[in-house]
Amino acid sequence: MASSSFDASSSSSYTYEDYKETADWLLARTEQRPRVAIICGSGLGGLADLLDKRNVFPYGDIPGFPQSTVPGHAGRLVFGELSGRPCVCMQGRFHFYEGYGAHTTAYPVRVFSLLGVETLVVTNAAGGLNGRFDPGDVMLIRDHINMPGLAGETPLRGPNDQRFGPRFPAMSDAYDRELSALARRTAEEQGLGGGSLREGVYCFVGGPSYETVAECKLLRLLGADAVGMSTVPEVLVARHCGLRVLGLSLITNKVVSDYASEEAANHQEVLETTRLRSQDLQRLVSHVIAKI
């Protein structure tokens, strides 16, 4: 395992040189020069298996990288080609509920920027708040609600380094409209457009507990269509760095919004739904990347 001086639990201790050290370490060990980065959600790491000419790096070997501790997250960084495009793929991401600070959860995205990545594709498993959504649907993320961020828990907190981006980045265009339109067209070509492709607002919460009935009702009133425990910190940093972002949620379950219900959300249900529908999402992502 590579030695590292980074403190993965620290909230804002990273410097430009820290990110550059990680990027330079990777660039010295692979000939791939990715232009697209993909972050895989729970159970969706099979996207990385589609890459050709792969170079695989366990997170534990990479200076500065924390460890992924969640079932369904393999903890590997995979370089290769997808549909002929040079890509880098994260098999597993980092979450607040694992004990990491906001800066650590989004650490890889700044590294990707220094690698030359221009487009970030984020995928996640999410609970369906919108009553019209069914488990197995794919939701194209149009916008997000950042619950921890509204209280100041954000990877952009602290001193700003202009080499990455501006002090006050706009988020009204967080999800690239051209990429979203491309994803819609591609989904229609694949037969997903008629029913199982949705579009909506993703709400980010800290986890690891699933939401109460009252919280689900509140989030729905706020305009959220799906809820999950990831993605938004990565999107904030990506946009701060000037990367284009495409976001896709696989709806794995309907949230419990009725006190009379005997159902309860669980992680095994999430992984089972992703197992059944992951190929559709993988095919959509690979075809979109081919057209970028």
By annotation, the residues acting in catalysis are 42, 73, 95, 97-98, 125, 229-230, 253, 267
Tracing tokens 């910190």 back to the chain, one arrives at: 233
Q: What letter represents residue 132's amino acid?
A: R
CA angle 283-60-157, nearest 5°? 80
User: Measured between alpha carbons, how far is 215 from 278 in angstroms, rounded to an integer?
Assistant: 28
End-to-end Cα separation, the chain, in angstroms:
36
**Shortest CA distance to 79 belongs to which of 54, 59, 62?**
54
> Side chain identity at 115, as an amino acid letter?
L
Task: Please state, in angstroms and as integers, the Cα–Cα distance from residue 156 to each residue in 14, 77, 117, 159, following that order.
Answer: 12, 24, 19, 8
Max Cα–Cα distance, the chain, nearest Å: 58
